[in-house]
């Protein structure tokens, strides 16, 4: 509805004012509606922003990728998307998708391309393609209750100098934010559990955290979370309640 859309535009604009200049969206979100909201929020501010959008797997063919990208550019009202991702692995050959991404890059329609929801073996498949080493990132679910990527995907990406983008860094539905460990660490830092979860996701320096927020208070919270430095004791307390993986786990996807 119009009221909610205006609230989302305002939240995005507040985030930009507070220095959060990466905006993540996708053709899937709201059937393109999210990209239209982003367009409203960034009007006149494009130069200072880094825009990320994603193509549906069923659109990720050689001809489908450029068509989907044009629709996203039109909805976003921009000439170029900074980072364009394949939303999750699909049935079209990856070689076609990557070739299409490279063509879009050459045409100036996108600056970089990457993957989303790809596990280690799938990333290896991308890397082996002729243009695969141009893959800029892999966007995956990552928070203290979802740490499976630490076993092999995070080390693989670090070894290949590829940052991870962590979506849902504060979990889903609020369960994570009731964590005793996060609450205890938050009290020591004069922060909120959500801020601690975001700071935790950023602790290695190789992860880009993309929290969602439509509430102004949450936007303000998110903006300062990156300034929190967790101590070894903080991390040990979080590990005790939210242990790291001891073996390979299937990639969790939302």
Give the 3-state secondary structure of residue 115.
Answer: strand
Q: How confident is the model at residue 214 (pLDDT cuts 50, 70, 90)?
A: confident
Task: Give 250's DSSP letter.
Answer: P
Q: Is the pLDDT of residue 173 over 90?
A: no
Task: Determine whether 112 is an active site residue.
Answer: no
pLDDT value at 94 more than 90: yes
Question: pLDDT tens-digit profile of 124-137?
Answer: 999 999 999 999 99
**Is residue 86's pLDDT more than 90?**
yes
Which two structure tokens, joined as six digits, stand for 83?
Answer: 């980072």
Average the pLDDT over 229-246 and give the result.
98
Distance CA 211, CA 190 (A): 20
Phi/psi of residue 50, each to 5°? -115, 110
The dihedral of CA 17, 20, 22, 28: what is its sign?
negative
Which two three-digit tokens encode residue 181?
A: 């460990």
pLDDT band at 1 (very low <50, low <70, confident <90, very high): confident
Residue 119 · residue 153 · CB < 8 Å = yes
% residues pLDDT > 90 (the chain): 96
SS3 content of the chain, % helix, strand, coil (to 5): 50, 15, 35
Q: Which of 36, 108, 44, 43 lies closest to 79, judged by CA?
A: 108
What's the average model confidence in pLDDT over 156-182?
A: 96
How long a stretch of residues is the chain? 254
User: Do residues 230 and 203 make contact, with C-beta atoms less than 8 angstroms apart?
Assistant: yes
The chain-wide mean pLDDT, for the chain, equals: 97
Helix axes 216-225, 2-17, angle to 10 degrees: 30
Q: How far apart are CA 60 and CA 38, in angstroms?
A: 23
Residue 2 has pLDDT above 90, yes or no: no
Q: What is the pLDDT of residues 186-202, one digit of tens each?
A: 999 999 999 999 999 99
| Annotated catalytic residue, options 29, 56, 112, 142 | 29
Residue 144's closest CA among 242, 231, 245?
242
Using the predicted structure, report yes or no on whether residue 85 has a pLDDT greater than 90.
yes
For residue 79, how many other CB atoms are within 10 A of its CB? 9
H or E element in which residue 105 lies: helix 94-106
Q: Do 20 and 48 form a contact (C-beta atoms < 8 A)? A: no
How would residue 213 be classed by pLDDT, with cut points 50, 70 and 90?
Answer: confident
Cα angle 49, 55, 58 (rounded to 5 degrees) comes to: 175
Rounded Cα distance between 12 and 49, Å, is 11
Q: Give the residue carrying structure tokens 């959500």.
A: 194
Number of other CB atoms surrounding residue 12 within 10 Å: 23
């Amino acid at each position: 509805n119009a009221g909610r859309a205006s609230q989302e535009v305002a939240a995005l604009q507040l985030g930009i004012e507070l220095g959060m200049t990466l905006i993540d969206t996708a053709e899937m979100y709201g059937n393109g509606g999210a990209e239209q909201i982003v367009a409203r929020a960034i009007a006149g501010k494009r130069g200072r922003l880094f825009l990320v959008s994603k193509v549906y797997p069923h659109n990720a063919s050689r001809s489908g990728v450029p068509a989907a990208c044009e629709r996203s550019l039109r909805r976003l009202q921009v000439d170029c998307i900074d980072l364009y991702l394949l939303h999750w692995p699909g049935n079209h050959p990856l070689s076609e998708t990557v070739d299409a991404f490279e063509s879009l890059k050459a045409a100036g329609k996108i600056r970089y391309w990457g993957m989303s929801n790809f596990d280690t073996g799938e990333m290896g498949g991308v890397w082996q393609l002729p243009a695969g080493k141009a893959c800029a990132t892999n966007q995956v679910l990552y928070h203290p209750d979802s740490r499976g990527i630490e076993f092999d995907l995070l080390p693989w990406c670090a070894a290949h100098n590829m940052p991870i983008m962590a979506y849902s860094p504060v979990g889903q539905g609020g369960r994570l934010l009731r964590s005793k460990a996060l609450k205890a660490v938050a009290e020591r830092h004069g922060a909120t559990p959500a801020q601690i979860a975001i700071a935790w996701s950023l602790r290695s320096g190789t992860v880009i955290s993309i929290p969602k927020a439509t509430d102004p208070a949450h936007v303000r919270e998110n903006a300062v979370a990156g300034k929190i430095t967790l101590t070894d004791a903080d991390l040990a307390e979080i590990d005790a309640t939210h242990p790291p993986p001891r073996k390979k786990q299937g990639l969790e996807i939302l």
